[in-house]
């Protein structure tokens, strides 16, 4: 196998998977030189102790300028070096990673689709905001698989008003998906929901058309505020000439919700009214 190292001029797609039983093997470094590499997928069932060249986006993106899609899931959070220089990649438009701290060292002007599979809250919001402001990219889809950071070390400072800054940087976002596991405190999500409600003085995510909330916890969640937000993005305010110029707002068309909430008759009736008028919804309340 060592004979292929440095001799992969046509390699465009690479998929690496492993088993913890292979941990005693030396690090894989056969694919470090692959100038046409465009797609990388790394998938392990457990945090993998072996150091892999393609485990870290800072490494792969600095070596593969033609990469358009990078996907690394379920590989565990690996150490990163403080003071690492920023890596700029001109054409990457899709990325899936699990460590939000890497976003502090990336400059991705073409990035449109981002998925964080192990998003720390609120650190992940701060990291995404940093990436967007540095890169001037226009994210269109964002998926956050979340847990809280009370027992995690991410190296990212908590920022005041991070939810507002986070939403301000995503004017082109059309799809937002958030998954919350059972360890999570729902305070951050509640605040995001309230900020997503459209008002005369505030409109975040004006192009949002699809929203998915999958909350695997019985913690308190403000379901009435969630319904208020849906209505604000379905019954859009009129845009008369006499009104101050408002941004063009897209109607929220597809909603998926799985999480805690009380099946209040009046709330469910309001949701049914929106469904009757065309909103595609799937509302599943934890019992």
The per-residue pLDDT for range 234-273, each reduced to its tens digit, is 998 765 444 555 567 899 999 999 988 777 899 999 999 9
HEC sequence for the chain: CHHHCCCCCCCCEEEEEECHHHCCCCCCCCCCCCCCCCEEEEEECCCCCCCCHHHCHHHHHHHCCCCCEEEEECCCCCCCCCCCCCEECCCCCEEEECCHHHHHHEECCCCCEEEEEEEEECHHHHHHHHHHHHHCCCCCEEEEEEEECCCCCCCCCCCCCHHHHHHHCCCCCCEEEEEECCCCCCHHHHHHHHHHCCCCCCCCCCCCCEEEEEECCCCCCCHHHHHHHHHHHHCCCCCCCCCCCCCCCCCCCEEEEEEECCCCHHHHHHHHHHHHCCCEEEEEEEC
The per-residue pLDDT for range 38-86, each reduced to its tens digit, is 777 766 655 444 444 455 677 778 878 888 998 876 554 444 444 568 9
Q: What is the pTM of this model?
A: 0.79
The per-residue pLDDT for range 87-115, each reduced to its tens digit, is 999 999 999 988 788 898 999 999 999 99
């Amino acid at each position: 196998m060592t004979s292929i190292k440095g001799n992969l001029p046509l390699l465009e797609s690479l998929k690496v998977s492993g088993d913890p039983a292979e941990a005693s093997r030396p690090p894989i470094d056969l694919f470090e030189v692959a100038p046409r590499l465009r797609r990388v997928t790394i998938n392990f069932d457990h945090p993998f102790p072996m150091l892999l060249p393609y485990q870290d986006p800072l490494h792969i993106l600095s070596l593969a300028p033609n990469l358009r899609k990078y996907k690394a899931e379920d590989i565990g959070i690996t150490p990163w070096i403080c003071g690492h220089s920023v890596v700029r990649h001109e054409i990457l438009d899709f990325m899936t990673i699990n460590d939000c701290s890497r976003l502090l060292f990336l400059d991705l002007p073409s990035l449109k689709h981002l998925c964080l599979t192990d998003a720390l809250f609120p650190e992940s919001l701060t990291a995404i905001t940093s990436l967007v402001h540095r890169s001037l990219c226009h994210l269109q889809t964002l998926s956050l698989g979340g847990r809280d950071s009370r027992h995690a070390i991410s190296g990212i400072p908590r920022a005041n008003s991070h939810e507002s800054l986070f939403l301000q940087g995503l004017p082109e976002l059309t799809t937002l998906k958030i998954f919350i596991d059972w360890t999570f405190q729902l305070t951050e999500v509640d605040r995001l929901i309230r900020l997503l409600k459209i008002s005369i003085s505030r409109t975040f995510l004006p192009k949002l058309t699809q929203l998915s909330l999958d909350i695997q916890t019985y913690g308190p969640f403000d379901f009435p505020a969630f319904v208020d937000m849906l209505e604000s993005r379905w019954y859009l305010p009129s845009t008369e000439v006499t009104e101050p110029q408002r941004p063009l707002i897209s109607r929220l068309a597809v909603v998926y919700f799985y999480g805690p909430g009380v099946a209040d008759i009046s709330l469910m009736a309001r949701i049914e009214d929106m469904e009757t008028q065309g909103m595609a919804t799937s509302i599943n309340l934890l019992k």
